[in-house]
Amino acid sequence: MTAMYSDRALVIGAGFAGLLAARVLSESYGDVVLVERDQLAADTEHRSGIPQAHHPHALLARGAEVLEALFPKLGTELKAAGAIQADLGSDFMSRAPAGWAPRDPIGLSVRSMTRVTIERIIRRRVLKLPNVSLVDGVTIDGLLHDRGTVTGVQGTRQGTPFTDYADLVVDASGRNSKLVSWLAELGVHCPAPMIVNGHLAYTSRLYEVNHDLKLDWKTAYEITHAPETKRGGAVSSVDGGLWFVTLFGAGGDMAPTDEDGFLSYATTLRCQDIAEIIKTATPASKIYRVGNLRSRWNRFHKIPNWPRGLLALGDSVVSLNPVYGHGMTLAALNCAALRELLAEHDLAKEPLIFQRAVAKTAQIPWMSATTTDLGWSEKKLPLSTRFMQWYARRLFQVVPGNRHVYRAFIRVSQMVDHPVSLFRPAVLWKVLSGRRPRATEQ
């Protein structure tokens, strides 16, 4: 049973986390307003507020499950829009640093689609809710407050000042959120964020599917791995007739954005299908690159004088190296926690309860995303991190010849199982006793 609090909640940012938050808040607030910088009238197109939409977005199995609870039959709707559901064994060609992963069916799948498609479908569902509305074309640049309580937002709309008031304000303005400086204007100071930089770059392009190429997978993935594997790539079928190709560069490496350079980088990968697609398929977009992708955690849960009337979630709190595909799933988990807590608490009065829950949901994805990336650092790392890196390295060496270990790894990487399951005796034994594949097998 959901509790009803007060009249009005306002969400800054109608991106992925903002939309999910609005969906959840609509159960407890009479009126929920999404305030978005971009104009969203042409809702099938790219917009500048989410530049990451030029790059592929995969939805982890755990994320799909949480979203389905918020939006029943979302999976069916995504499928109808052309999203691909790939079994992480039989439909997934995955290259660990030491060799190819086994291809037996795993019974767990990842969904791939363009970011524009998943956001459009969710936005339409959210805006159909009778008590949710959208005000677009507004850039928020500060918080209104009264004696330690946030009471609204201020900003500009086409050059004219904009203010709005709410009982609860939720910051979901993403990776480049200005919340830390808005809080400083209120005299609230945040601890320095934790930052781990994998110096990662994505270079991506869409292609029309070339049906002459007979491929026995729906998604191919070649991972980067510190400190020796700086190059990787991925390709998946998206939105019906398209392939999304991405070339990864880590540790400072990056694929060029010109035609020849893009292809020539792809030919250096083990997965030669990627280069073959680039050579033979018809491009359906420009080549886009985003660099310096890092993981950053704003530890808002540690701020004792965090203002009442304010919550933050999604990338505004924790943004991760996207290569592991955690972002949307983490936003969904934040919103599942929001829903659960709103049933018991007036979070406008007790916001830190929520910020602590956000921190809890972030712990595992943060550890997964940063343990490997810390391998690019030249600093001496804590013993616990070096142990995890050593174990991960052994595990990746064993994956090519061992479907049991691969399955355990996949279930953890899809956030379905806790990482501790990688230390279950059956997995531990195989990881510690497994042999490295011979050069000919690699």
Ligand X SMILES: Cc1cc2nc3c(=O)[nH]c(=O)nc-3n(C[C@H](O)[C@H](O)[C@H](O)COP(=O)(O)OP(=O)(O)OC[C@H]3O[C@@H](n4cnc5c(N)ncnc54)[C@H](O)[C@@H]3O)c2cc1C
Interface residues toward ligand X, by CB under 6 A: 12-18, 35-38, 49-50, 52, 55-58, 139-140, 172-175, 202, 290, 314-316, 322, 325-329, 331
Pull the structure tokens for residue 189.
């100071």
Q: How far is CA 143 from CA 139, 153, 333, 360, in A?
A: 12, 4, 26, 26
Instruction: Return the number of the residue (290 or 353) whose C-beta is nearest ligand X.
Output: 290
Question: Which is nearer to ligand X, 13 or 99 (by Cβ)?
Answer: 13
Structure tokens at 382: 């804590």
Our CB check for ligand X shows the closer of 52 and 372 to be 52
Pairing of strands 8-12, 168-171: parallel
Strand partners, 358: none
Name the minimum Å distance from CB 344 to ligand X: 25
Q: In Å, how far are 299, 304, 322, 356, 362 from 190, measured between CA atoms?
A: 7, 10, 24, 15, 18
The nearer residue to ligand X, 35 or 348, going by C-beta atoms, is: 35
Shortest gap between Cβ of 314 and ligand X (angstroms)?
Answer: 3
Instruction: Name the DSSP letter for residue 21.
Output: H
Supply the minimum distance, in Å, between the C-beta of residue 182 and ligand X. Answer: 9
Residue pair 57/72 in contact by the 8 Å Cβ criterion? no
- Shortest distance, CB of residue 67 to ligand X, whole angstroms? 11
Q: How far is the CB of 181 from ligand X (least distance, A)?
A: 11
Rounded to a whole number of angstroms, the minimum distance from the CB of residue 273 to ligand X is 19
Q: Which residues on neighbouring strands pair with residue 224, listed in sequence order?
A: none
Task: Give the DSSP letter of residue 192.
Answer: P
Decide whether 22 or 98 has the Cβ nearer to ligand X: 22
The residue length of the chain stands at: 442
The C-alpha atoms of residue 103 and residue 306 are separated, in whole angstroms, by: 49
Q: How far is 329 from 63, CA to CA, in rounded Å?
A: 4
Cβ proximity to ligand X, 322 vs 351, nearer residue: 322
Measured from the CB of residue 35, what is the shortest distance to ligand X in angstroms?
A: 6
Q: Identify which of residues 257 and 385 has a Cβ nearer to ligand X in the complex.
A: 257
Q: DSSP secondary structure string, 120-147?
A: HHHHHHHHTSTTEEEEESEEEEEEEEET
Q: How far apart are CA 253 and CA 226, in angstroms?
A: 12
Closer CB to ligand X, 273 or 315, in the complex? 315
DSSP per-residue letters across 280-319 = HSPB-S--EEEEEEEEEE--GGG-TTPPBTEEE-GGGTEE
Compare residues 52 and 224 and give the one whose CB is closer to ligand X.
Answer: 52
Give me the least distance between CB of 315 and ligand X, in Å please.
4
- Can you tell me the distance from the alpha carbon of 225 to that of 251, in angstroms, rounded to the nearest whole number? 9
State the nearest-atom distance from the C-beta of 59 to ligand X, in Å.
6
